[in-house]
Homo-oligomer: A and B are copies of this chain.
Amino acid sequence: MRHELPTLEDVARVAGVSRATVSRVVNGVRSVDPALQDVVRAAIERTGYAPNRAARSLVTRRAETVALVVSGAGDSTEAAQNAFTARVFADPFFGRVVSGVMGFLRPRSVHPVLMFAESDASRQEVLGYLRHGNADGALVVSTYAHDPLPALLAEARLPAVFFARPAGQLPVTFVDFAHRDGARLAAGQLLARGCRRVATVAGPLDIAAGQERLAGFREGMERGGQPCVPVAEGGFTLDSGARAMHRLLREHPGIDGVFAANDLMAQGVCQVLREQGRRIPQDVAVVGFDDSSVAVTCRPRLTTVRQPVEEMGAEMARLLQERIEGTRTEPTSTIFDPELVVRDSA
């Protein structure tokens, strides 16, 4: 049924050279006469040849494929898995990571294989997949703090790069963000506007990013002479942000500035504030975190701390490539710096 595909042999015949020469041209080995190269390339063009990945993989022991692993907690029931997936994809954050990753991978024509790891069985599956060389390495986005996957991967010495430093001082490669510095920037902006009664909707405090952003914000406020900041914890969702804001308002009606640990929660904060008839930023200034898509769709548009998620995704892919190629073997990490994006909410 499928049309027979041209092989190296076919190209070689058309070009009047040996298979090896064609292979060299295809793989960009330089030691081929430029004139011959042209002949070969013409033959490739004419035949519509493209290398057979399976055959190549078999001999090179490279899959030319990486696993894109979404890791998290949960059991194996279908309901739990669906809930897990829904939560992951509902966060615009994950899409930005994927976008960055694909941006790096696409020009190199390596495609990510999507895998979930939310149960013991699925973690073993990921491990097996990599160990058997079906993928050359893994890009891992963890959705919770004590994910066992990083340790498993490190122990098996499989090439992997993580989004955010995994818990437990593992000798692994990762990209991360200077959350503390970013949160300090947010504090600075609120202070500069002259806010005197500032509160914060923190992220989940069992996640490093949540802790760091809170710590950084407190530091910033303390330096500005406001050591006591009311805190309400949220879960990085719009809804949890709204609920946290309600709690804050109930106990501290005089609030004139809020830092939300991500944009989604900031959006929830804004909704509550507007419902209560408070003007943003005149009555209450709001600063978000991430600079995700909601930052510009939110009304008013959010002043926020930009986290360059796409670039971080691309860097993950780059670091993984280095590990796979063996260019660099010891664990590395790249920490990205924040940037304050001033819009309308503060």
Contact = CB atoms under 8 A, between A and B. Distances in A.
A112 B114 CA distance: 6
Nearest to A293: B86
Nearest to A95: B89
B81 A2 contact: no
Interface stretch (A29-37, A51-59, A221-229, A253-261): A51-59
A50 B132 contact: yes
A52 B114 contact: no
Interface in A94-135: 94-96, 98-99, 102-103, 106, 109, 111-116, 122, 125, 128-129, 131-134
Contact of A113 (B89, B112, B275, B293): B112
Contacts of A90: 92, 95, 293
A325 to B, nearest CB: 12
Contact of A132 (B52, B68, B102, B238): B52
Contacts of A54: 53-55, 57-58, 63, 133
Given A54-B54, A86-B96, A99-B85, A114 B115 contact: no
Interface string A67-87: 010000000001001100111
Interface of A is mostly: helix
Interface residues of A, number: 61
A47 interface: no
A53 B134 contact: yes
A188 B61 CA distance: 61
19 contacts: A2-B133, A50-B132, A52-B58, A54-B54, A58-B58, A65-B113, A81-B103, A85-B98, A86-B92, A86-B95, A86-B99, A86-B293, A87-B293, A89-B96, A89-B98, A89-B99, A90-B293, A113-B113, A237-B297
**Top 6 A-B residue pairs of the complex, sorted by shortest distance between their CB atoms:** A89-B95, A85-B99, A54-B57, A54-B58, A54-B54, A111-B113
